[in-house]
Chain A
Amino acid sequence: MNERAYEILGATLEHAEIVAITIAIAAVIAIPAGIALVPHVRARRLALGFANLAQTIPSLALFGFLLPLPLIGGIGKTTAIVALCMYALLPLLRNTVLGIAGVEAAVRESAVAMGMTRGQILRYVELPLAVPSLIVGLRIAVVTTIGTATIAAAIGGGGLGVFIFRGIAMADTSTILAGAIPAAVMALAADEGLEWLERKLS
Protein backbone atom coordinates (compact mmCIF):
# COMPACT_ATOMS: atom_id res chain seq x y z
CA MET A 1 0.00 0.00 0.00
CA ASN A 2 2.84 2.32 0.80
CA GLU A 3 4.29 1.55 -2.59
CA ARG A 4 0.94 2.55 -4.16
CA ALA A 5 1.02 5.88 -2.35
CA TYR A 6 4.51 6.59 -3.63
CA GLU A 7 3.39 5.70 -7.12
CA ILE A 8 0.45 8.11 -6.88
CA LEU A 9 2.65 10.87 -5.53
CA GLY A 10 5.17 10.34 -8.32
CA ALA A 11 2.45 10.42 -10.97
CA THR A 12 0.95 13.56 -9.41
CA LEU A 13 4.29 15.33 -9.56
CA GLU A 14 4.79 14.21 -13.14
CA HIS A 15 1.30 15.46 -13.96
CA ALA A 16 2.04 18.82 -12.36
CA GLU A 17 5.30 19.00 -14.30
CA ILE A 18 3.54 18.37 -17.64
CA VAL A 19 0.98 21.07 -16.79
CA ALA A 20 3.62 23.57 -15.66
CA ILE A 21 5.74 23.11 -18.80
CA THR A 22 2.66 23.32 -21.02
CA ILE A 23 1.39 26.53 -19.40
CA ALA A 24 4.84 28.12 -19.45
CA ILE A 25 5.33 27.43 -23.16
CA ALA A 26 1.77 28.45 -24.07
CA ALA A 27 2.07 31.67 -22.05
CA VAL A 28 5.41 32.58 -23.63
CA ILE A 29 3.81 32.18 -27.07
CA ALA A 30 0.29 33.48 -26.45
CA ILE A 31 0.88 36.58 -24.30
CA PRO A 32 3.42 38.31 -26.59
CA ALA A 33 1.40 37.18 -29.61
CA GLY A 34 -1.73 38.66 -28.06
CA ILE A 35 0.05 41.95 -27.37
CA ALA A 36 1.37 42.08 -30.93
CA LEU A 37 -2.01 41.22 -32.41
CA VAL A 38 -4.12 43.84 -30.63
CA PRO A 39 -3.60 46.64 -33.18
CA HIS A 40 -4.08 44.33 -36.20
CA VAL A 41 -7.74 43.49 -36.38
CA ARG A 42 -7.57 41.00 -39.27
CA ALA A 43 -4.52 39.10 -38.03
CA ARG A 44 -6.15 39.01 -34.62
CA ARG A 45 -9.31 37.45 -35.99
CA LEU A 46 -7.25 34.91 -37.95
CA ALA A 47 -5.17 33.89 -34.93
CA LEU A 48 -8.18 33.61 -32.64
CA GLY A 49 -9.98 31.61 -35.33
CA PHE A 50 -7.06 29.22 -35.59
CA ALA A 51 -6.83 28.83 -31.83
CA ASN A 52 -10.58 28.24 -31.71
CA LEU A 53 -10.28 25.59 -34.38
CA ALA A 54 -7.51 23.81 -32.48
CA GLN A 55 -9.84 23.77 -29.49
CA THR A 56 -12.50 21.82 -31.40
CA ILE A 57 -10.22 18.88 -32.28
CA PRO A 58 -10.99 16.02 -29.89
CA SER A 59 -7.95 15.67 -27.68
CA LEU A 60 -7.48 11.95 -28.24
CA ALA A 61 -7.57 12.55 -32.01
CA LEU A 62 -5.03 15.40 -31.72
CA PHE A 63 -2.61 13.12 -29.83
CA GLY A 64 -3.10 10.61 -32.61
CA PHE A 65 -2.45 13.17 -35.34
CA LEU A 66 0.78 14.27 -33.69
CA LEU A 67 2.18 10.76 -33.20
CA PRO A 68 3.62 10.27 -36.70
CA LEU A 69 5.13 13.78 -36.95
CA PRO A 70 8.91 14.17 -36.75
CA LEU A 71 10.48 16.17 -33.85
CA ILE A 72 7.24 17.06 -32.04
CA GLY A 73 5.60 13.65 -32.52
CA GLY A 74 6.26 10.15 -31.30
CA ILE A 75 5.51 8.35 -28.05
CA GLY A 76 6.24 10.33 -24.89
CA LYS A 77 5.96 13.61 -23.03
CA THR A 78 6.99 15.94 -25.85
CA THR A 79 4.03 15.01 -28.00
CA ALA A 80 1.73 15.33 -25.04
CA ILE A 81 3.02 18.80 -24.20
CA VAL A 82 2.75 20.01 -27.81
CA ALA A 83 -0.87 18.89 -27.97
CA LEU A 84 -1.72 20.36 -24.57
CA CYS A 85 -0.13 23.67 -25.60
CA MET A 86 -2.48 23.89 -28.54
CA TYR A 87 -5.43 23.79 -26.14
CA ALA A 88 -3.90 26.21 -23.67
CA LEU A 89 -3.14 28.81 -26.36
CA LEU A 90 -6.71 29.91 -26.99
CA PRO A 91 -7.76 31.04 -23.51
CA LEU A 92 -4.41 32.78 -23.00
CA LEU A 93 -4.41 34.47 -26.40
CA ARG A 94 -8.04 35.48 -26.21
CA ASN A 95 -7.80 36.92 -22.72
CA THR A 96 -4.59 38.81 -23.48
CA VAL A 97 -6.27 40.42 -26.48
CA LEU A 98 -9.49 41.11 -24.57
CA GLY A 99 -7.61 42.57 -21.61
CA ILE A 100 -5.53 44.97 -23.67
CA ALA A 101 -8.25 45.87 -26.16
CA GLY A 102 -10.54 46.50 -23.18
CA VAL A 103 -8.50 49.49 -21.98
CA GLU A 104 -10.79 52.53 -22.15
CA ALA A 105 -10.30 54.68 -25.25
CA ALA A 106 -9.98 57.85 -23.14
CA VAL A 107 -7.20 56.27 -21.06
CA ARG A 108 -5.27 55.25 -24.16
CA GLU A 109 -5.85 58.63 -25.81
CA SER A 110 -4.57 60.54 -22.82
CA ALA A 111 -1.54 58.23 -22.48
CA VAL A 112 -0.54 59.02 -26.07
CA ALA A 113 -1.33 62.71 -25.68
CA MET A 114 0.81 63.02 -22.54
CA GLY A 115 3.83 61.81 -24.50
CA MET A 116 4.15 58.19 -23.40
CA THR A 117 6.10 55.93 -25.73
CA ARG A 118 4.59 52.71 -27.08
CA GLY A 119 6.63 50.71 -24.56
CA GLN A 120 5.59 52.92 -21.64
CA ILE A 121 1.92 52.60 -22.56
CA LEU A 122 2.29 48.82 -22.62
CA ARG A 123 4.20 48.67 -19.34
CA TYR A 124 2.37 51.25 -17.26
CA VAL A 125 -1.13 51.12 -18.72
CA GLU A 126 -2.10 48.22 -20.95
CA LEU A 127 -0.46 45.28 -19.19
CA PRO A 128 -1.44 46.26 -15.63
CA LEU A 129 -5.02 46.85 -16.76
CA ALA A 130 -5.03 43.52 -18.63
CA VAL A 131 -3.85 41.51 -15.59
CA PRO A 132 -7.31 40.49 -14.30
CA SER A 133 -8.30 39.25 -17.77
CA LEU A 134 -4.93 37.50 -18.16
CA ILE A 135 -5.42 35.63 -14.90
CA VAL A 136 -8.88 34.51 -15.97
CA GLY A 137 -7.27 33.11 -19.13
CA LEU A 138 -4.60 31.45 -17.06
CA ARG A 139 -7.22 29.85 -14.80
CA ILE A 140 -9.09 28.39 -17.74
CA ALA A 141 -5.86 27.19 -19.35
CA VAL A 142 -4.50 25.57 -16.18
CA VAL A 143 -7.74 23.84 -15.21
CA THR A 144 -8.40 22.43 -18.69
CA THR A 145 -4.77 21.36 -19.08
CA ILE A 146 -4.88 19.44 -15.79
CA GLY A 147 -7.93 17.57 -17.05
CA THR A 148 -6.79 17.00 -20.60
CA ALA A 149 -3.31 15.94 -19.49
CA THR A 150 -4.80 12.71 -18.12
CA ILE A 151 -5.34 11.66 -21.73
CA ALA A 152 -1.62 12.16 -22.39
CA ALA A 153 -1.02 8.77 -20.80
CA ALA A 154 -2.56 7.22 -23.92
CA ILE A 155 0.54 8.18 -25.89
CA GLY A 156 3.02 7.48 -23.14
CA GLY A 157 3.05 10.92 -21.64
CA GLY A 158 2.84 9.64 -18.10
CA GLY A 159 1.11 11.48 -15.27
CA LEU A 160 -2.12 10.63 -13.47
CA GLY A 161 -3.74 9.38 -16.65
CA VAL A 162 -1.65 6.24 -16.31
CA PHE A 163 -3.88 5.10 -13.42
CA ILE A 164 -7.04 5.98 -15.26
CA PHE A 165 -6.13 4.01 -18.39
CA ARG A 166 -4.83 1.11 -16.30
CA GLY A 167 -8.01 1.13 -14.23
CA ILE A 168 -10.16 1.10 -17.35
CA ALA A 169 -8.17 -1.82 -18.77
CA MET A 170 -8.49 -3.74 -15.50
CA ALA A 171 -12.07 -2.59 -14.90
CA ASP A 172 -10.86 -1.50 -11.43
CA THR A 173 -12.62 1.56 -10.05
CA SER A 174 -10.16 2.17 -7.23
CA THR A 175 -7.28 2.39 -9.72
CA ILE A 176 -9.26 4.86 -11.87
CA LEU A 177 -9.95 6.95 -8.75
CA ALA A 178 -6.24 6.89 -7.85
CA GLY A 179 -5.73 8.95 -11.00
CA ALA A 180 -8.97 10.89 -11.10
CA ILE A 181 -9.07 12.17 -7.50
CA PRO A 182 -5.58 13.74 -7.41
CA ALA A 183 -6.27 15.32 -10.82
CA ALA A 184 -9.53 16.82 -9.57
CA VAL A 185 -7.92 18.07 -6.37
CA MET A 186 -5.09 19.62 -8.37
CA ALA A 187 -7.57 21.39 -10.67
CA LEU A 188 -9.60 22.74 -7.76
CA ALA A 189 -6.50 23.91 -5.91
CA ALA A 190 -5.11 25.65 -9.01
CA ASP A 191 -8.47 27.33 -9.62
CA GLU A 192 -8.75 28.54 -6.03
CA GLY A 193 -5.14 29.72 -5.98
CA LEU A 194 -5.46 31.71 -9.17
CA GLU A 195 -8.79 33.14 -8.09
CA TRP A 196 -7.10 34.35 -4.90
CA LEU A 197 -4.30 35.91 -6.98
CA GLU A 198 -6.88 37.59 -9.20
CA ARG A 199 -8.65 39.13 -6.19
CA LYS A 200 -5.36 40.21 -4.73
CA LEU A 201 -4.20 41.97 -7.87
CA SER A 202 -7.42 43.72 -8.82
Chain B
Amino acid sequence: MHTVSGDAILELRNVSCELGGRAILRDIDLTVERGETLVLLGRSGSGKSTLLKAVNGVVPLSAGEIRFEGRASAEWDPIRLRRRMGYVIQDAGLFPHWSVGANAGLVPKLEGWPPDKIAQRIDDLLEAVGLPPNEFRDRKPRQLSGGQKQRVGIARALAADPPLLLMDEPFAALDPITRFDLQRQFLELRRAVRKTALFVTHDVREALMLGTRIALLRDGALEVLLPANEFPHSANPEARAFLDTLGEAEAP
Protein backbone atom coordinates (compact mmCIF):
# COMPACT_ATOMS: atom_id res chain seq x y z
CA MET B 1 0.00 0.00 0.00
CA HIS B 2 1.31 3.38 -0.96
CA THR B 3 -0.23 6.25 0.94
CA VAL B 4 2.37 8.88 0.25
CA SER B 5 1.22 12.19 1.67
CA GLY B 6 0.97 14.96 -0.90
CA ASP B 7 -0.22 12.42 -3.46
CA ALA B 8 -3.53 13.75 -4.73
CA ILE B 9 -6.10 11.31 -6.02
CA LEU B 10 -8.78 13.90 -6.67
CA GLU B 11 -8.48 17.57 -7.50
CA LEU B 12 -11.32 20.05 -7.90
CA ARG B 13 -10.38 23.33 -9.53
CA ASN B 14 -12.82 26.25 -9.56
CA VAL B 15 -15.72 23.83 -9.79
CA SER B 16 -19.10 25.41 -10.30
CA CYS B 17 -22.37 23.70 -10.92
CA GLU B 18 -25.73 25.04 -11.99
CA LEU B 19 -28.99 23.17 -12.10
CA GLY B 20 -32.00 24.88 -13.67
CA GLY B 21 -30.30 28.28 -13.54
CA ARG B 22 -29.57 27.97 -9.81
CA ALA B 23 -25.97 27.86 -8.60
CA ILE B 24 -25.49 24.70 -6.53
CA LEU B 25 -21.71 24.75 -6.30
CA ARG B 26 -19.67 27.95 -6.43
CA ASP B 27 -16.02 28.00 -7.41
CA ILE B 28 -14.80 25.11 -5.26
CA ASP B 29 -11.10 24.29 -4.96
CA LEU B 30 -10.37 21.08 -3.12
CA THR B 31 -7.78 18.31 -3.18
CA VAL B 32 -8.22 14.83 -1.75
CA GLU B 33 -4.98 13.07 -0.80
CA ARG B 34 -4.59 9.33 -0.99
CA GLY B 35 -5.42 7.64 2.32
CA GLU B 36 -7.40 10.45 3.89
CA THR B 37 -11.07 10.70 4.72
CA LEU B 38 -12.22 14.12 3.67
CA VAL B 39 -15.59 14.92 5.19
CA LEU B 40 -17.92 17.31 3.39
CA LEU B 41 -20.01 18.89 6.12
CA GLY B 42 -22.97 21.17 5.53
CA ARG B 43 -26.65 21.80 5.99
CA SER B 44 -29.26 20.31 3.70
CA GLY B 45 -29.03 22.08 0.36
CA SER B 46 -25.43 23.23 0.90
CA GLY B 47 -24.37 21.34 -2.23
CA LYS B 48 -22.40 18.53 -0.57
CA SER B 49 -24.29 15.69 -2.26
CA THR B 50 -24.13 17.49 -5.60
CA LEU B 51 -20.36 17.73 -5.18
CA LEU B 52 -20.20 13.95 -4.78
CA LYS B 53 -22.37 13.47 -7.86
CA ALA B 54 -20.17 15.84 -9.84
CA VAL B 55 -17.10 13.81 -8.84
CA ASN B 56 -18.91 10.66 -9.98
CA GLY B 57 -19.78 12.25 -13.30
CA VAL B 58 -23.54 12.18 -12.75
CA VAL B 59 -23.97 15.94 -12.48
CA PRO B 60 -22.28 18.10 -15.16
CA LEU B 61 -20.05 21.06 -14.25
CA SER B 62 -20.86 24.52 -15.48
CA ALA B 63 -17.28 25.69 -14.90
CA GLY B 64 -13.96 24.38 -13.62
CA GLU B 65 -12.38 20.97 -13.75
CA ILE B 66 -12.24 17.75 -11.74
CA ARG B 67 -9.15 15.55 -12.06
CA PHE B 68 -9.23 11.96 -10.83
CA GLU B 69 -5.98 9.97 -10.75
CA GLY B 70 -4.34 12.80 -12.69
CA ARG B 71 -6.81 12.80 -15.56
CA ALA B 72 -9.54 15.36 -16.19
CA SER B 73 -12.97 13.79 -15.77
CA ALA B 74 -13.84 14.90 -19.31
CA GLU B 75 -11.16 12.49 -20.54
CA TRP B 76 -12.64 9.58 -18.58
CA ASP B 77 -15.25 7.25 -19.93
CA PRO B 78 -17.97 7.88 -17.30
CA ILE B 79 -18.60 4.15 -16.83
CA ARG B 80 -14.89 3.41 -16.19
CA LEU B 81 -14.67 6.44 -13.91
CA ARG B 82 -17.61 5.26 -11.77
CA ARG B 83 -16.26 1.72 -11.49
CA ARG B 84 -13.08 3.14 -9.95
CA MET B 85 -15.14 4.85 -7.26
CA GLY B 86 -17.15 2.94 -4.69
CA TYR B 87 -20.42 4.69 -3.91
CA VAL B 88 -22.50 4.31 -0.78
CA ILE B 89 -25.84 6.12 -0.50
CA GLN B 90 -28.15 6.69 2.42
CA ASP B 91 -30.80 4.11 1.53
CA ALA B 92 -28.20 1.57 0.41
CA GLY B 93 -30.09 1.11 -2.88
CA LEU B 94 -29.54 -2.64 -2.94
CA PHE B 95 -31.18 -4.52 -5.82
CA PRO B 96 -34.23 -6.09 -4.12
CA HIS B 97 -34.37 -9.06 -6.51
CA TRP B 98 -30.72 -10.02 -5.97
CA SER B 99 -29.23 -11.91 -3.04
CA VAL B 100 -26.90 -10.18 -0.61
CA GLY B 101 -23.97 -11.96 -2.23
CA ALA B 102 -24.97 -10.92 -5.75
CA ASN B 103 -25.40 -7.34 -4.58
CA ALA B 104 -21.96 -7.27 -2.98
CA GLY B 105 -20.40 -8.81 -6.10
CA LEU B 106 -22.04 -6.40 -8.57
CA VAL B 107 -18.98 -4.51 -9.81
CA PRO B 108 -16.73 -7.60 -10.14
CA LYS B 109 -19.55 -9.15 -12.20
CA LEU B 110 -19.76 -6.05 -14.40
CA GLU B 111 -15.99 -6.16 -14.75
CA GLY B 112 -16.19 -9.74 -15.95
CA TRP B 113 -14.28 -11.48 -13.13
CA PRO B 114 -14.39 -15.30 -13.23
CA PRO B 115 -17.27 -16.65 -11.07
CA ASP B 116 -15.08 -18.47 -8.52
CA LYS B 117 -13.04 -15.33 -7.94
CA ILE B 118 -16.26 -13.32 -7.48
CA ALA B 119 -17.59 -15.90 -4.99
CA GLN B 120 -14.36 -15.74 -2.98
CA ARG B 121 -14.42 -11.94 -3.05
CA ILE B 122 -18.04 -11.84 -1.86
CA ASP B 123 -17.21 -14.01 1.15
CA ASP B 124 -14.17 -11.90 2.04
CA LEU B 125 -16.19 -8.69 1.76
CA LEU B 126 -19.13 -9.91 3.84
CA GLU B 127 -16.67 -11.08 6.47
CA ALA B 128 -14.97 -7.67 6.42
CA VAL B 129 -18.21 -5.77 7.01
CA GLY B 130 -19.27 -8.08 9.84
CA LEU B 131 -21.84 -10.26 8.06
CA PRO B 132 -20.94 -13.98 8.34
CA PRO B 133 -21.07 -15.14 4.67
CA ASN B 134 -22.69 -18.50 5.35
CA GLU B 135 -25.55 -16.82 7.12
CA PHE B 136 -26.05 -13.81 4.86
CA ARG B 137 -24.83 -14.66 1.35
CA ASP B 138 -28.15 -16.04 0.08
CA ARG B 139 -30.52 -13.71 1.90
CA LYS B 140 -32.56 -11.12 0.08
CA PRO B 141 -32.22 -7.44 1.05
CA ARG B 142 -35.78 -7.38 2.44
CA GLN B 143 -34.65 -9.88 5.09
CA LEU B 144 -32.04 -7.45 6.43
CA SER B 145 -32.18 -4.67 9.01
CA GLY B 146 -31.25 -1.12 8.01
CA GLY B 147 -27.77 -1.48 9.44
CA GLN B 148 -27.20 -4.81 7.70
CA LYS B 149 -28.34 -3.33 4.38
CA GLN B 150 -25.86 -0.52 4.79
CA ARG B 151 -23.09 -3.03 5.53
CA VAL B 152 -23.91 -4.76 2.25
CA GLY B 153 -23.86 -1.33 0.56
CA ILE B 154 -20.34 -0.79 1.90
CA ALA B 155 -19.25 -4.27 0.82
CA ARG B 156 -20.60 -3.56 -2.67
CA ALA B 157 -18.70 -0.27 -2.81
CA LEU B 158 -15.44 -1.98 -1.81
CA ALA B 159 -15.88 -4.99 -4.09
CA ALA B 160 -13.59 -4.12 -6.99
CA ASP B 161 -11.10 -2.44 -4.64
CA PRO B 162 -11.67 1.09 -5.99
CA PRO B 163 -9.06 3.69 -5.03
CA LEU B 164 -11.74 6.17 -3.90
CA LEU B 165 -14.91 5.75 -1.86
CA LEU B 166 -17.76 8.23 -2.16
CA MET B 167 -20.13 8.09 0.79
CA ASP B 168 -23.33 10.11 0.80
CA GLU B 169 -24.69 10.23 4.36
CA PRO B 170 -24.40 6.44 4.57
CA PHE B 171 -25.36 6.19 8.24
CA ALA B 172 -27.90 9.02 8.48
CA ALA B 173 -31.00 6.82 8.43
CA LEU B 174 -29.81 4.41 11.13
CA ASP B 175 -30.66 4.41 14.81
CA PRO B 176 -27.92 5.95 17.00
CA ILE B 177 -26.57 2.64 18.32
CA THR B 178 -26.41 0.96 14.91
CA ARG B 179 -24.91 4.15 13.51
CA PHE B 180 -22.16 4.21 16.12
CA ASP B 181 -21.49 0.55 15.45
CA LEU B 182 -21.07 1.18 11.71
CA GLN B 183 -18.96 4.28 12.28
CA ARG B 184 -16.54 2.24 14.37
CA GLN B 185 -16.53 -0.50 11.77
CA PHE B 186 -15.77 2.09 9.12
CA LEU B 187 -12.73 3.28 11.08
CA GLU B 188 -11.55 -0.29 11.50
CA LEU B 189 -12.11 -1.05 7.83
CA ARG B 190 -10.23 2.06 6.84
CA ARG B 191 -7.26 0.98 8.94
CA ALA B 192 -7.36 -2.45 7.30
CA VAL B 193 -7.75 -1.44 3.66
CA ARG B 194 -6.36 2.13 3.72
CA LYS B 195 -9.11 3.54 1.57
CA THR B 196 -9.41 7.13 0.50
CA ALA B 197 -12.90 8.44 1.13
CA LEU B 198 -14.96 11.51 0.38
CA PHE B 199 -17.66 11.41 3.03
CA VAL B 200 -20.77 13.58 3.07
CA THR B 201 -22.59 14.24 6.33
CA HIS B 202 -24.65 16.88 8.12
CA ASP B 203 -23.63 15.49 11.50
CA VAL B 204 -20.64 17.31 13.00
CA ARG B 205 -20.08 14.55 15.53
CA GLU B 206 -19.71 12.06 12.69
CA ALA B 207 -17.43 14.48 10.81
CA LEU B 208 -15.12 14.78 13.82
CA MET B 209 -15.11 11.05 14.45
CA LEU B 210 -14.44 9.87 10.91
CA GLY B 211 -12.76 12.74 9.10
CA THR B 212 -9.06 13.37 8.77
CA ARG B 213 -10.01 16.73 7.29
CA ILE B 214 -13.32 18.56 7.25
CA ALA B 215 -14.56 20.75 4.42
CA LEU B 216 -17.51 22.89 5.46
CA LEU B 217 -19.86 23.90 2.66
CA ARG B 218 -22.38 26.70 2.79
CA ASP B 219 -24.70 27.67 -0.07
CA GLY B 220 -22.48 25.80 -2.48
CA ALA B 221 -19.26 27.52 -1.44
CA LEU B 222 -16.36 26.14 0.57
CA GLU B 223 -16.36 27.99 3.91
CA VAL B 224 -13.77 26.18 5.98
CA LEU B 225 -11.19 23.49 5.23
CA LEU B 226 -9.32 22.23 8.27
CA PRO B 227 -7.80 19.07 9.74
CA ALA B 228 -10.45 17.42 11.91
CA ASN B 229 -8.55 18.14 15.13
CA GLU B 230 -8.40 21.87 14.34
CA PHE B 231 -12.00 22.18 13.22
CA PRO B 232 -13.42 22.61 16.75
CA HIS B 233 -11.30 25.75 17.13
CA SER B 234 -12.61 27.41 13.97
CA ALA B 235 -14.08 30.87 14.50
CA ASN B 236 -16.16 30.68 11.34
CA PRO B 237 -19.83 31.37 12.22
CA GLU B 238 -21.15 28.42 10.19
CA ALA B 239 -18.60 26.12 11.83
CA ARG B 240 -19.61 27.47 15.24
CA ALA B 241 -23.26 26.85 14.40
CA PHE B 242 -22.44 23.21 13.74
CA LEU B 243 -20.20 22.88 16.79
CA ASP B 244 -22.93 24.35 18.99
CA THR B 245 -25.07 21.31 18.17
CA LEU B 246 -22.63 19.21 20.21
CA GLY B 247 -24.05 20.72 23.39
CA GLU B 248 -22.38 22.39 26.36
CA ALA B 249 -20.85 19.30 27.92
CA GLU B 250 -18.88 18.35 24.82
CA ALA B 251 -18.02 21.79 23.46
CA PRO B 252 -14.29 22.47 23.42
Residues of A near any B CB (own CB < 8 A) = 104, 106-117, 120, 124-125, 128-129
Among candidates A106, A120, A129, residue contacting B110 with C-beta atoms closer than 8 Å: A120
Is A117 a contact of B79 with CB atoms below 8 Å?
A: yes
Is B95 a contact of A109 with CB atoms below 8 Å?
A: no
**Considering the chains assembled together, what is the distance between the CA atoms of A65 and B96 in angstroms?**
47
With contacts A114-B87, A114-B107 known, is A106 near B97, CB below 8 A?
no
Which of A106, A110, A115, A128 has the most C-beta atoms of chain B within 10 angstroms of its own C-beta?
A115
Which A residues are in CB contact (< 8 Å) with B166? 113
**Interface assignment of B83: CB less than 8 Å from any CB of chain A:** yes
Is B96 a contact of A107 with CB atoms below 8 Å?
A: yes
Which B residues are in CB contact (< 8 Å) with A109? 89, 93
Q: How large is the interface on B (under 10, 10 to 19, 20 to 34, 35 or more residues)?
A: 20 to 34
**Considering the chains assembled together, what is the distance between the CA atoms of A183 and B118 in angstroms?**
51
With contacts A104-B93, A110-B87 known, is A115 near B110, CB below 8 A?
yes
Which A residues are in CB contact (< 8 Å) with B117? none
Which B residues are in CB contact (< 8 Å) with A113? 56, 58, 82, 85, 87, 89, 166
**Given A104-B96, A115-B110, A116-B110, 16 other A-B contacts at CB below 8 A?**
A107-B94, A107-B95, A110-B87, A110-B93, A111-B95, A113-B85, A114-B83, A114-B106, A114-B107, A114-B156, A115-B78, A115-B79, A115-B81, A115-B83, A128-B97, A129-B97
**Interface assignment of B80: CB less than 8 Å from any CB of chain A:** yes
**Considering the chains assembled together, what is the distance between the CA atoms of A104 and B142 in angstroms?**
13
- Please give the distance in Å from A83's CB to the nearest CB on chain B: 37
- Please give the distance in Å from A12's CB to the nearest CB on chain B: 37
**Interface assignment of B51: CB less than 8 Å from any CB of chain A:** no
- Please give the distance in Å from B143's CB to the nearest CB on chain A: 16
Which B residues are in CB contact (< 8 Å) with A125? 95
Which A residues are in CB contact (< 8 Å) with B94? 107, 110
